[in-house]
Amino acid sequence: MGLIVQKFGGTSVGSVDHIQNVANRVIAEKNNGNDIVVVVSAMGKTTDQLVGMAKELSTAPSKREMDMLLSTGEQVTISLLTIALNAKGYEATSFTGWQAGIKTESVHGDARITDIDTKPVSQELKKGRIVIVAGFQGLSETGQITTLGRGGSDTTAVALAAVLKADKCDIYTDVTGVFTTDPRYVKNARKLPSISYDEMLELANLGAGVLHPRAVEFAKNYNVKLEVRSSMEREEGTIIEEVAEMEENLVVRGVAFEDDITRVSVLGIKDPLISLSSIFSLLAKEHINVDIIIQSITDDKSSSLSFSIKNQDLTETVKILEKNREALSYDQIEWESQLAKISIVGSGMISNPGVAAEMFNVLAANNIVVKMVSTSEIKVSAVIDQAHMLNAAQALHQTFDLAGDLVKN
Amino acid sequence: MGLIVQKFGGTSVGSVDHIQNVANRVIAEKNNGNDIVVVVSAMGKTTDQLVGMAKELSTAPSKREMDMLLSTGEQVTISLLTIALNAKGYEATSFTGWQAGIKTESVHGDARITDIDTKPVSQELKKGRIVIVAGFQGLSETGQITTLGRGGSDTTAVALAAVLKADKCDIYTDVTGVFTTDPRYVKNARKLPSISYDEMLELANLGAGVLHPRAVEFAKNYNVKLEVRSSMEREEGTIIEEVAEMEENLVVRGVAFEDDITRVSVLGIKDPLISLSSIFSLLAKEHINVDIIIQSITDDKSSSLSFSIKNQDLTETVKILEKNREALSYDQIEWESQLAKISIVGSGMISNPGVAAEMFNVLAANNIVVKMVSTSEIKVSAVIDQAHMLNAAQALHQTFDLAGDLVKN
């Protein structure tokens, strides 16, 4: 007996049959005596199709119009799901983002939620109805339809759970939970029964891809209990909450990895003070995400800088650097692609020094050269050759006792 | 130099290529120095696809949810058209129905426009922008998305033209104008340069299909000058205004016809006073459109009644009548299908008695039996065997001097 927010992504609502399945999942939770708010994404390939049409008409469609266009995707899903629930004998009401009182910044394509008026949803819940809300979208102060950018539906669900003081927010996906590492590539990957927000945040940022980091941050800030679970399987998923149960006392909770990384080096920078901030401002302006940054002073008069980006951003990055060669006062640029980033995550690291050392030992024992390193309190990341990525993941997963058959010893 | 509202229907915006074409038409009018408001429908088959999905989920989907679902169709078109205009270097802004200030009754599926707040559209026009508005949709007092029912986009366009005091409302369709009769079936059908609201209203109601009667009524009430024209051809269309130019002094302006008509007769009604109103209330409640009605008192104690409906409504009509046999106090019902309605329309009829007689003479001369008759001040309709419909249309078109090679004598 409580209030549960459920979120179903694009794959889960990809067809009329899938929508029937989602309706059954919603009804099961309703029949448990809970009030239910459901947040849905656009059906499967809808967004791609809409983007495709826009691209046929313009190489650079206006962001306002893209929001207008893409927000129709979730609107189709909310009405179809509501129709399915009605047909199964359950009262339900659909809401677009603006109807659900979701207010955002006046930004298109990547707006943040600023406020939610809970009245529209609460009123329907009081009448005993299931409420279906379009994810990913909101309304700006000036009355424009906005979208929340990648992972937007996750954020909508968590934000609604926060303001409605829901007991839980269930994120339904195509995997059964959060794993110690990617089960598609690493044998013995094991589903975690629970994990802390910070650990999930590191894993989400490291490309584990189950849950968008913005949504996790939101959940952490408002202390929303999340569960990541499968929309197809009935088994329990992974709970994400402030203090995850540490039943296994593992220092490392997961191994994440990500390929298609390029390291760019800017050599012989004459005026490091000015150049450094300028470089990253210029890249940020073009929405190029810079991940690991390493600066080294080589002598009194010049320094060099390395940073990692996604392969796809290389051409644009080089163009920007070359265009601003004079202002940035450097000698030359170099780059190396075909790299990967591999990371270990776990809040136990804080009180366990030597974890990073152990990681480097394992990599060295496997003849894997570390090209860049980055650490946080609960994470160590290393950039290595892409060819060694899966070997490294296997070895680390084994070393830190994460494999399925090793736990509960 | 003025304000023009343009409306493009589903076929005109049926593909990305078609939308490019529409953008060019809009730009041509903008380059003439006009302010432009464009009203668009959903792309081609979109509505059918959405209805199809809803029908898979429910045999009787809620009307509120159908409005939620179908209103996405026009929202896709407005953004794509705006993107196309931007790509061609023209500033444009899209508006959903609710953003454009279009307020309706709290009815789903067939709402009427109650009011339009002109501010949002006017503000954009003042900035020199082309405004693109989603047809067919509005917002109810309680904040629900509503749709206007059949011909809804025509109505949106005319209503906007009325409140914005537009100089003209151009309705772009897949035909080049209003014809003296259906050019697909009758040789020598001729495009009318102009026609009055009342004449158009009769033609629209009689199944000429170019323009929805609700939109024509709206235009008449607010004196909005309409032009029906082709979205593909550049030629001039047909102007619809209060007093059409009578350059040819024709008594009859057009011949309309419609097949799939059934005549239903209710015989031996004991209490005509009660039964008549009851019958039509019962049918109206089930949204069955009754067209021609003929009542005849056969003797002191009972009367009989005939009325025409569309073939498709026959089963439901018979069911309703049989279910209420006792309350309606009649002896028996009969029906005849495979009928057609043929009509002549022209405001000149008012001052030209004998037009109806001439029509019946022509039909008689062609051995066509008239089974029902209905007249208004500017129209005569006759129900005949469907097999004779096109013959009758040809003969009447010829008799009343409407053929292309006979005019301007």
Q: A318-337, pLDDT tens digit by residue?
A: 999 999 998 888 999 999 99
Q: Does B271 touch chain A (CB under 8 A)?
A: no
Contact A20 B57 (CB under 8 A): yes
* CA gap B313, B335 in Å, rounded: 12
Looking at A282-291, A366-375, B232-241, which range is the least confident one?
A: A282-291
Mutate to test the interface with A, among B76, B123, B140 (most CBs of A within 10 A): B76
Q: Does B96 touch chain A (CB under 8 A)?
A: yes
Tokens of B381: 């309709």
Instruction: Using CB atoms, pick whichever of A65, A99, A120 lies closest to residue B79.
Output: A65
Compare all CA atoms of chain B with the CA of A73 and give the residue at the minimum distance: B72
Q: Does B51 touch chain A (CB under 8 A)?
A: no
Query: What is the reported pLDDT for A244?
Result: 56
Side-chain half-sphere CA neighbours of A402 within 13 A: 30
Tokens of A380: 């160590």
**B242 burial class (0-12, 13-18, 19+ CB within 10 angstroms)?**
exposed
* CA gap A198, A215 in Å, rounded: 12
Q: Does A61 touch chain B (CB under 8 A)?
A: yes
Domain with CATH 3.40.1160.10 in chain A: 3-174
Alpha-carbon separation of residue B264 from A76, A357, B196, B323, B337 (angstroms): 41, 92, 33, 16, 9
DSSP B254-284: EEEEEEEEEEEEEEEES-HHHHHHHHHHHHH
Closest C-alpha to A4, from A55, A14, B105, A28: A28
Tokens of B190: 């001729």
Q: Does B155 touch chain A (CB under 8 A)?
A: no
Is the pLDDT assigned to residue A357 strictly greater than 90?
no
Query: What is the reported pLDDT for B12?
Result: 93
* Model confidence band, residue A38 (pLDDT cutoffs 50, 70, 90): very high
Instruction: Judge whether B29 and B2 are in contact, CB under 8 Å.
Output: no
Q: What is the pLDDT of residues A175-202, one digit of tens each?
A: 889 988 888 888 888 888 999 998 888 8
Contact B80 A94 (CB under 8 A): no
Q: Which residues of A touch B59 (CB under 8 A)?
A: 87
Q: What is the pLDDT of residues A8-22, one digit of tens each?
A: 998 899 999 999 999
Q: Among the CATH numbers 1.10.10.10, 3.30.2130.10, 3.40.50.300, 3.90.1300.10, which is that of A255-399?
A: 3.30.2130.10
pLDDT, mean of residues A155-160:
96
Query: What is the reported pLDDT for A406?
Result: 35
Is the pLDDT assigned to residue A408 strictly greater than 70?
no
Instruction: Using CB atoms, pick whichever of B54, B80, B84 lies closest to residue A83.
Output: B54
Contact B87 A61 (CB under 8 A): yes
Domain with CATH 3.30.2130.10 in chain A: 255-399
Q: Does A109 touch chain B (CB under 8 A)?
A: no
Supply the CATH classification number for the domain B3-174.
Answer: 3.40.1160.10
* Model confidence band, residue A207 (pLDDT cutoffs 50, 70, 90): low
Q: Does B309 touch chain A (CB under 8 A)?
A: no
The torsion of the CA quartet A80, A83, A87, A91, rounded to 10 degrees, works out to 130
DSSP B21-74: HHHHHHHHHHHTT-EEEEEE---TTHHHHHHHHHHHH-SS--HHHHHHHHHHHH
Contact A65 B76 (CB under 8 A): no
Instruction: Using CB atoms, pick whichever of A59, A68, A86 lies closest to residue B79.
Output: A68
DSSP B333-363: EEEEEEEEEEEEE-GGGGG-TTHHHHHHHHH
Cα–Cα–Cα angle for A390, A393, A399, nearest 5°?
140
Contact A59 B96 (CB under 8 A): no
Contact B50 A76 (CB under 8 A): yes
Q: Does A71 touch chain B (CB under 8 A)?
A: yes
Going by the DSSP 8-state scheme, the letter that residue B210 receives in this structure is S
pLDDT, mean of residues A268-293:
84
Query: What is the reported pLDDT for A342?
Result: 94
* CA gap B398, B358 in Å, rounded: 12
Tokens of A246: 């540490």
Tokens of B56: 């898979």
Contact B75 A56 (CB under 8 A): no
> A16 - beta bridge partners?
none
- Give the distance from residue A232's alpha carbon to the nearest chain B alpha carbon, in angstroms: 19
Under DSSP, is residue A294 helix (H, G, I), strand (E, B) or coil? strand
* Model confidence band, residue A404 (pLDDT cutoffs 50, 70, 90): low
Q: Does B20 touch chain A (CB under 8 A)?
A: yes
Q: What is the pLDDT of residues A54-76, one digit of tens each?
A: 999 999 999 999 999 999 999 99
Contact B62 A82 (CB under 8 A): yes
Q: Which residues of A touch B62 (CB under 8 A)?
A: 82-83, 86
Going by the DSSP 8-state scheme, the letter that residue B388 receives in this structure is G
* Model confidence band, residue A375 (pLDDT cutoffs 50, 70, 90): confident
* Model confidence band, residue A28 (pLDDT cutoffs 50, 70, 90): very high
- Give the distance from residue B15's alpha carbon to the nearest chain A alpha carbon, in angstroms: 9
Is the pLDDT assigned to residue A246 strictly greater than 90?
no
- Give the distance from residue A152's alpha carbon to the nearest chain B alpha carbon, in angstroms: 19
Is the pLDDT assigned to residue A358 strictly greater than 70?
yes
| Contact partners, residue A59, CB within 8 Å, separation at least 6 | B87
- Give the distance from residue B164's alpha carbon to the nearest chain A alpha carbon, in angstroms: 21
Contact B65 A87 (CB under 8 A): no
Instruction: Using CB atoms, pick whichever of B16, B61, B143 lies closest to residue A99.
Output: B143
* CA gap B199, B222 in Å, rounded: 16
Instruction: Using CB atoms, pick whichever of A54, A87, A93 lies closest to residue B80.
Output: A54
Query: What is the reported pLDDT for B300?
Result: 67
Alpha-carbon separation of residue B213 from A252, A321, B161, B197, B220 (angstroms): 72, 63, 16, 10, 10
Compare all CA atoms of chain A with the CA of B43 and give the residue at the minimum distance: A53
Q: Does B19 touch chain A (CB under 8 A)?
A: yes
Q: Does B45 touch chain A (CB under 8 A)?
A: no
Interface ipTM: 0.80
Instruction: Using CB atoms, pick whichever of A59, A65, A75 lies closest to residue B68.
Output: A75
Question: Per-residue pLDDT for chain B (409 aa), expressed as one digit of tens each?
Answer: 799 999 999 889 999 999 999 999 999 999 999 999 999 999 999 999 999 999 999 999 999 999 999 999 999 999 999 999 999 999 999 999 999 999 999 999 989 999 999 999 999 999 999 999 999 999 999 999 999 987 899 999 999 999 999 999 999 998 889 988 888 888 888 888 999 998 898 887 766 677 888 899 899 999 999 999 999 888 999 999 987 555 455 688 889 999 999 999 999 888 877 777 788 888 888 888 888 888 776 666 778 889 999 999 999 999 999 999 988 889 999 999 999 999 999 887 877 778 888 899 999 999 999 999 888 888 899 999 999 999 999 999 998 878 764 333 3
Alpha-helix runs per DSSP H in B286-329: 314-323, 325-328
- Give the distance from residue B74's alpha carbon to the nearest chain A alpha carbon, in angstroms: 10
pLDDT over 70 percentage in chain A: 95
Alpha-carbon separation of residue B169 from A269, B158, B215, B218 (angstroms): 64, 6, 11, 12
Is the pLDDT assigned to residue A37 strictly greater than 80?
yes
Contact A75 B72 (CB under 8 A): yes
